Structure 1
Amino acid sequence: MARHVLAALVCAAALLGMSASLLVASADDTDGPLTVRVVRGAAGVGGILVVATDPSGASVSGVTGPDGSVRLVTTPLSGGKYRVDASIPASMPDLKPAAEEAERASLTEFVDVGGGQAVTLTMGVGALDGPVQLGDRTWFDTDGDGVQDGDEPPLPGVRVQLLGCDGGGAPLAEKTTDGAGRYLFGPAEGLQPNSCYTLHFDFSGVNTAPLPGSPPADGLKWTVPHAGDQSLDSDVDPDKGTVRVAIGPPGSVDHTVDAGVVGGLNRVGDLVWADVNRNGLQDPGEPGVADVGVRLQKADGTPVAGTSTGPHGQYAFSHLPDGGYQVCFDTAKLPPQYGDYQLTRQRAGNPGQDSAPDPATGCTAVVDLGLNRTQDLTLDAGLAPPVNRIAALVWQDEDGDGQLGAVEPGIAGVPVKLRSADGTQFAMTTTGPDGRYAFEDLPSGSFEVCFDLANLPPSAADFTPVPKGAASGADPATGCTSAVTLGLGKREENSLNAGLAAPVNRIGDRVWTDTNRNGIADAGESGPAGVPVKLLRADGTEESTTTTGADGRYWFSGMPDGDYRVCVDRAALPAPVAGYQFTRPRAGESTKDSDVDLAGGCAPLVPVGVGHRDAGGVDIGLLPARNRVGDLLWIDRNGNGTPDADEPRAAGIAVTMTDSAGRAVATTRTGADGSYLLDDLPDGTYRVCFDLAGLPAEYRDFRIAGTDGDPGCSGPVTVGPKPREDLSVRIGLVSASPAVAPAAQETSSGGGFPVGWVLFGVVAAIGLVVGVRWWKVAGQEQ
């Protein structure tokens, strides 16, 4: 059999000094010796070039010696299975391929010397006077290139019919390819020299189980024809399964009519990788994931095959019949180190560099494979780790038990820092309106959360963490939690709460007996025990009650932030101090004087809360009952008899109590708030007089309304023995020249109401009020 193309290649190699090897490949030391002998009849034929080619295309060659033998050293090749070709040189025109017989092969054969087995191959050449012969081999074209490779398997069981030249009529003869995929027609089957024939090949009855991928028989087809050297390629028309051949003169041998079959040339694959940064793209350094289950199914969901990814995440399904396919990935049974990973987002970039399956189904879109598209190696799948997050709560421990109560509120605006294991600040946020915070999309690793106690919101500026425990993870000393590790097995941490408690609000101090009546709690002035004390809210409702201790001390604690006042009911004073009065308020140092007003027994409102946690110094001075008079002096600009908020108090005005003879009985001055108290008075009836010369210039013409004589003196006030005090002598100073509307002024025609009558009415009304009050006091003394 002529091997002109191959001979030319080998001769060229020989001229270049490469007769020992056309291409050096990976060595395989396990191959056995390969000996080829070319004979004519029984005699060896020298000078015949023999080439052994491995599946990669690398080859070694040699020339037969005088005895027709050559030993080929296959060590440089990739090993195992080879295609062996013998070429008759042009210098031997009288030789031709000999007909195959049991003891000699054609000039193209396939051998396996793997595992150290020795092979001696005998090939035959002859003259032009032998019998005619037609045949050669059917094979499974694994790579679909149309050329027989050394490792591509034979295809037994193919039915081959010898037909007339036009391909019609009944077969002249029929053969079935043997275990080596061989068939032969000769004179015994009616083959004649100088004749034309058609060969028809039928692979419908072959057993495909041993073939790579075990493709179904109905998925087989003929490979591409005439793809290379005539002795190595396929000659069958893919549409008809036939080939027309011409037989030459007697002695003509044609061992070049080969037929290659493909089935499952179609393939899909490629990679499952860990999409560490979850961007849906295969980035440098992101590893493949081994042992991931992969399932191939038809477009209708019918299973086709299953496999697992290899050591580097690769997978493939090959030798597939034409049709539509889907690849599905089993994320329910991933390797342990990727146990909770999920499919990354779909088609985030270019095919082959992104992820193909739908995360919801785990399957790719249907891929149609066939003549125009035999493979799709872009069906990659990215496995992304779930999002790591830390989310928890900062709450106010209102009841102080260190536990998160059902109705205890969150604290908004608390700065929260996230630190990595080495202490580096990783992120920062603040709590929301409900006190919650979150750090999202964190990498795997160790973190600690720190609450910035130095920059708490104004409403919680002085709050401190509750003791560290299950309910609150913050260390009170540092404001930081213990480190937590996020990653496989723990993607979310929700326990890093922080409970903050407000310092305890306190209001109180003591009740004391002001024995020297100076309004100051002096050393040695002890406090009575058992005095009932009330704490009232700003709206007057009661918050709490208590009684003084042995030293007169009292305290209210734990009340919510707000404004409160302390009150003592004189009528409820215990026996030792029953009937006592309150000493004059605000007589000196705020921490030592009395704070309650004389008439009502209540101290001014005091705030407790942020910045005002301890409202100590709310003192109450008691003293034995004496006669006294007092209340308030103010500028009653609108003349309504009530001290309005915008009306000024008359401060620093000298106050004198005079008897009926005009003698001074007691003196004092109004305080900054206009209050005054005339104390320790003898029983009797008196007038309270104010030095109006001490008023500011703008109020110099103001006076006490309705008084006779001195405009700075009140009407008569009686004290003792019942009652001992009158603390309601509230004096409003009015202008001596009040503005009068023009309509009320007297005109020259006498038509208007006289101004004098108006003033008379005002003075009369005031005098009536004072007289009635005096009458009531006089009646109580009786």
Structure 2
Amino acid sequence: VWLDNGAGGGAANNGVRDGSESGIDNVTVELYASGQTPGVDTPVRATVTSGGGYYFFDNLNAGQYFVHIPASEFGAGGSLEGYASSTGAGSDETTDQDGDENGIDDLNRLSNGISSLVYDLQPNSEVTGESEAGYTGSLDDDNVNGTADFGFYEAVAIGNIIWDDNGAGGGTVNNGVMDGGEAGIDGVTVVLYDAVTNTPVFTTTTAGGGFYEFDNLLPGSYRVHIPASEFTSGGVLAGYASSTGNGSDETTDQTGDENGIDNPLRATTGISSTVYVLQPNNEVTTEAQGSYSGSLDDDNVNFTADFGFMALASIGDYVWLDANANGVQEYGELGIENVLVELYNAAGTLVMTTTTAFDGSYGFTGLIPGNYSLVFYPPAGYAVSPQDVGANDQVDSDINPATGATVVTTLDPGENDPTWDAGMFPINPAIDIEKSVSIARVAPGQTATVTYTLQVTNTGDLTLNAVSITDTLPAGMSYVLGSASIAPTSIAGQDITWNDATGGAPFAPGDSLTITFEASVDTQATGTYVNNAGVVAIYPPGDNYPDGQVDDRDDVSVVIEDPSVALDKKLWLRA
């Protein structure tokens, strides 16, 4: 019975005693007749290895036997505590330890022990030439079979917990640390891979509060893997993502980090841990191992391969044509298709983009919980409705008209927030000027003064600036100085001008202003005198339209002519 650890240039766990691998003394070895059950039936013989791991059962009756190492040797205090049978077992009765070992592997050796294959021992028929070191009897070589060898290696284990990193009970969401009242997740499939060959070794499922373990492993390099099926529909982790970041060492427990390497394609490739190099008597001893069910020493067990996951969030809803530009969704108002929407994280980094569907809906799914904001880009020729009108957040417009952006909002794990809407309407800048006169007809040669009224109104849906008005009097009429209700900024010939008639104030949709002034009529004037007035205003650029100007003109006439009188006379004859 020897330690198959690769010492002195040998190869570990190859089932061959090579290099300077040494025997293991004080191991109880039992001999059973074929058909007996170890632990139930009484063994034919029992002995203990000595002198470098050797044992023999001498002077036996011919027959079929198997050698057994009892379960007690692998339990606490046993000579093989923390050891596992070298992988594989020889299939013949003739090959010595330099060619194979004969312990049939049993992962449940703590209950069952380890047995050899059955040996058919017959006089003068046994293999000769094998090493019979340690044999003290007197039987001939061909009556002694010294090939029932057992190789063992010191096993290692890995495991611990998969938990919901949701910040419950005062913990912190998505910090990769199991804190507060965060709980483990049961029912998750976990696969252990050989990190060198990239082949699966064992599979288990989390239980008892999210715990898992892989026990009695060969020393070597491993990674723990959560398969893609766990993240697809019906999987325990469907709608979850790995906590952001991952620990870079093999010694920090879930109270310090988690070890799942982030992968946005988790539903295709799954989530894997970093690589763990497991070596006997060399593993961390400060981590929690309360869930470990095996018997390996603390320094052979690494329980720091932890995975934090959090339920993903979503946000979205609706962009609509706000026909009356009041910032409230109302019956009959439809969605706007192909509006660009951008999603930004708390750092102001663009996370995703999308466009609204045919009905104006949009959405962002699969989001890491945290702080986000949205930016909407209205189609060319559209403006944004007023923000946060009324108390019903389900039907208002949530974006700033000047920037197209929302405020920052926090998405909790698993939250779906469908309340972020945007109202938009076609821009229609317009202005109107209406001109009237107090006296429309004047007799020639008469001294007369008329009063003109200019009515200017913002009839569009954009605020205007720099409203300028020019009134051009016809020859034969003169402005009466000081008569204007708003003093003109200049009088040049027949032109009377009001630059910035609002005095710098914005001219909002629906706003109106009135100017009156007087003009005297030349006593020599005759005919029709047309008075023209025009207004020009500008509007500033928006996020999706350039600046521009609007204008309008109107005129009114004064007729100077002799008054005419007509007399009609009729005669009726009564029959």
Give your verdict on TM over 0.5: no
| Bigger relative contact order, structure 1 or 2 (CA pairs below 8 A, ≥6 apart) | 2
In our comparison, the structure showing a higher alpha carbon Rg is: 1
TM-score (norm 2): 0.44
